[in-house]
């Protein structure tokens, strides 16, 4: 690297996720996923221009969802050092936001240039994620019941004390049966597996482990977060069709290989920020007050191990004067 990041960029990145949350939160429950995504992306991109960094988007959620995107390969920041890889999800849980459901987040993660794994056109991964207590206990190749036994032992619990979070998808029918047969509890979620992975590292969330097949971009973002939190994720690329298998072969990806958090994001200088859009187990959603709004964010850096929760109060008259973004736009007015 020309210059290694030596300041806590996460403290600057939280302004980016706050901006995305403030803009996207206007669309809560209005059923328009594309408008919410567009608002988050526009606000996030605007704020990113002010950050001192030479960033390249390695993980851009838009390509997978065919949504307004911060696209893979896009250069962001103001072009000054340090050089960094960027993983961004302007809304983790777009459908949750559109339906007014809990758990939608605005998320961004950075690491040193060349350290983030890019899954390319392979959209999904099989994942197993836990918090710090069970980080040495998991094995993606082991049977479900064996992993649950190991996790329970590591956490000083019985299996029937464990709660497993799983995306509510038909493809998980067998996994759900196995978890139930082992005696663990299950929380099925409609979307938002970055938020779900985060929950495994916070005891108060009540979640012990994430299992199942979810998005590859979200897997990389979750790895960045869990490295900051001391947790672990194991993943394996899960191609949906022959085209994705050919892509994996062209890229030299071994589809049998288990990817750890260190494979997904190498090194130990990772920055992560997330802001709640709708209420969740870890972060509260945006609260609009008429003259402004309140946001609740999580800010982390892996090298220092520092975890911060930031509650911010935003005033429209001042914020819009310096940003130029219409955060006070009424619900009937669509972002342009």
Task: Detail the residues annotated as belonging to a binding site for Mn(2+).
Answer: 37, 61, 89, 92, 218
| Binding-site residue set for substrate | 92-94, 124, 169-171, 191-193, 215
| Binding-site residue set | 37, 61, 89, 92-94, 124, 169-171, 191-193, 215, 218
With 0-12 / 13-18 / 19 or more C-beta atoms within 10 angstroms meaning exposed / middle / buried, residue 303 is middle
For residues 254 and 228, what is the distance between their CA atoms, to the nearest angstrom? 27
Cβ pair 113, 84 in contact under 8 A = yes
The token pair that represents 212 in the structure block? 């199942």
Closest CA to 223 of 133, 139, 141, 109: 109
């Amino acid at each position: 690297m020309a210059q290694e990041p030596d300041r806590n960029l996460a403290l600057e990145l939280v302004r980016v996720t706050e901006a995305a949350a403030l803009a996207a939160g206007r669309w809560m429950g209005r059923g328009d996923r594309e408008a919410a995504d567009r608002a988050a992306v526009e606000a996030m991109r605007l704020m990113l221009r002010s950050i001192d960094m030479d960033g390249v988007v390695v993980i851009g959620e838009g390509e997978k969802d065919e949504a307004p995107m911060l696209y893979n390969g896009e250069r962001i920041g103001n072009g000054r050092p340090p050089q960094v890889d960027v993983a961004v999800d302007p809304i983790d849980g777009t459908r949750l936001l559109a339906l007014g459901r809990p758990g939608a987040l605005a998320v961004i993660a950075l690491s040193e240039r060349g350290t983030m794994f890019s899954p390319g056109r392979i959209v999904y991964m099989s994942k197993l994620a836990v918090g710090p207590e069970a980080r040495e206990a998991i094995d993606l190749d082991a049977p479900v019941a064996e992993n649950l036994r190991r996790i329970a032992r590591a956490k000083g619990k019985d299996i029937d004390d464990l709660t497993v979070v799983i995306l509510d998808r038909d493809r998980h029918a067998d996994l759900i049966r196995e978890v139930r047969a082992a005696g663990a509890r299950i929380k099925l979620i409609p979307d938002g597996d970055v938020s779900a992975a985060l929950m495994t590292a916070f005891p108060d969330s009540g979640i012990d482990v994430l299992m199942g097949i979810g998005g590859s971009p979200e897997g990389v973002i979750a790895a960045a977060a869990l490295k900051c939190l001391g947790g672990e994720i194991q993943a394996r690329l899960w191609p949906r069709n022959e085209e994705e298998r050919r892509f994996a072969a062209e890229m030299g990806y071994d589809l049998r290989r288990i990817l750890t958090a260190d494979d997904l994001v190498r090194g130990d200088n990772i920055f992560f920020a997330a802001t709640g859009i709708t209420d969740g187990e870890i972060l509260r959603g945006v609260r609009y007050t008429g003259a402004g709004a309140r946001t609740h964010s999580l800010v982390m850096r892996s090298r220092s191990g520092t975890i911060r929760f930031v509650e911010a109060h935003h005033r429209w008259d001042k914020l819009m004067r310096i940003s130029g973004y219409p955060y006070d736009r009424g619900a009937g007015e669509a972002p342009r």
